[in-house]
Amino acid sequence: MNSRKKDLLVLGALLVLLILFFSKILFTDKIIRAPDIMNEFYWGVEWVKKGDFWSLFNVDLHAAWDKFVNGGTTDEGGGVSNQFLIYRSLILYLFPAPSCVAWFIVFQLFFGAAGTYCYCRLIGVGRLGSFLGGLIFAVAPENASLINAGHVMKIATISFAPWAFYFFEKGFLSRRVFFFLATAVVLALQFFNTHWQVAYYTCLGIGIYGIIRSIGILVHESQDGKRDMARLLGLNLVTMLFFLSTVAISLVPLSNWAKDTNRGVHSGANQGKGGLDREEAMSWSMPPEEVTAFVIPGAFGISRQEAGANPANISAYYWGRMVFTQTLTYMGLLPWLLLPLPLLFRRDKYTWLALCAIVGGILFSMGKYTPVYQILYDYFPGIDRFRVPKMMMFLPVFGLGVIAARGMDCILDRDVRDSRIFKRYAMGVLAVPVVLLVLLVVETLGKEYWISTFHEMLAQPTRYESGADLIVRRWRNLVNETAIAAMLAGLSAAVICLAAFGKNSMRYVPILLVALYLADVGRIDNKFMFLVNVPEKVKGAKTPAIEYLIKANKGNRVLPMDGSDPMQYVANKIPVMFTSNPVQKKRWQDFLEVFSLGSPLPDLMNVQYLILSQEQYLQEKNQLSAKYLPVYESPDGSQVVLENRQVFPKGWLVSSVLTLPDPQQRLMVLNNPSVDLRTVAIVESPPPVSLAGPVPADGPVGEVNVTGNSGEELTVISHVTRNSLLVLGEKYDKGWKATVDGKETEIYPVNHVLRGIYLTPGKHTVEMRFDPLPFKIGKYLTLASFAFFILMLARELFLQQKGPHRGLQQ
What is the pLDDT at residue 202?
Answer: 97
Q: What is the CA radius of gyration of the chain?
A: 30
Q: What is the DSSP string of 634-691?
A: -TTS-EEEEEETTPPPSEEEESEEEE---HHHHHHHHT-TTS-TTTEEEESS--SS--
Residue 574 — φ and ψ, nearest 5°? Answer: -110, 115
Residue 123 — φ and ψ, nearest 5°? Answer: -90, 10
Q: What residue spans in the chain does CATH classification 2.60.40 cover?
A: 651-771
3-state secondary structure 216-234: HHHHHCCCCHHHHHHHHHH
pLDDT tens digits along 519-574: 999 999 998 888 888 876 554 568 899 999 999 888 899 999 998 888 889 888 89
Please state the separation of Cα 465 from the chain's center in Å.
27
Please tell me the distance from the alpha carbon of residue 108 to that of residue 655, in angstroms, as a whole number: 58
Mean pLDDT of the chain: 90
Give this prediction's pTM.
0.90
Decide: 10 and 117 in contact? Cβ < 8 Å: yes
What is the pLDDT at residue 580?
Answer: 79
- Give 52's contacts (C-beta < 8 A, 6+ positions apart): none
Please tell me the distance from the alpha carbon of residue 498 to that of residue 606, in angstroms, as a whole number: 74
Please tell me the distance from the alpha carbon of residue 185 to that of residue 242, in angstroms, as a whole number: 8
CATH architecture of 651-771: Sandwich (2.60)
- Give 389's contacts (C-beta < 8 A, 6+ positions apart): 282, 284, 285, 286, 364, 365, 366, 367, 368, 373
Kindly report the number of other CB atoms within 10 A of residue 227's CB atom.
10
Residue 661, judged by CB atoms within 10 A of its CB (0-12, 13-18, 19+), counts as exposed
What is the pLDDT at residue 695?
Answer: 54
Residue of 445, 447, 452, 471 lying closest to 460 (CA atoms): 471
Residues of the chain with pLDDT under 50: 265-271, 539, 806-810
Please tell me the distance from the alpha carbon of residue 628 to that of residue 192, in angstroms, as a whole number: 44
pLDDT tens digits along 122-141: 999 999 999 999 999 999 99
Type of residue at 109 = L
Residue 236 — φ and ψ, nearest 5°? Answer: -65, -40
What is the pLDDT at residue 214?
Answer: 95
Please tell me the distance from the alpha carbon of residue 807 to that of residue 801, in angstroms, as a whole number: 8
Type of residue at 678 = R
What is the pLDDT at residue 581?
Answer: 78
What is the pLDDT at residue 680?
Answer: 92
Cis omega (within 30 of 0) on the bond before 340?
Answer: no
Reported residue count of the chain is 810
| Three-state DSSP state, 138 | helix
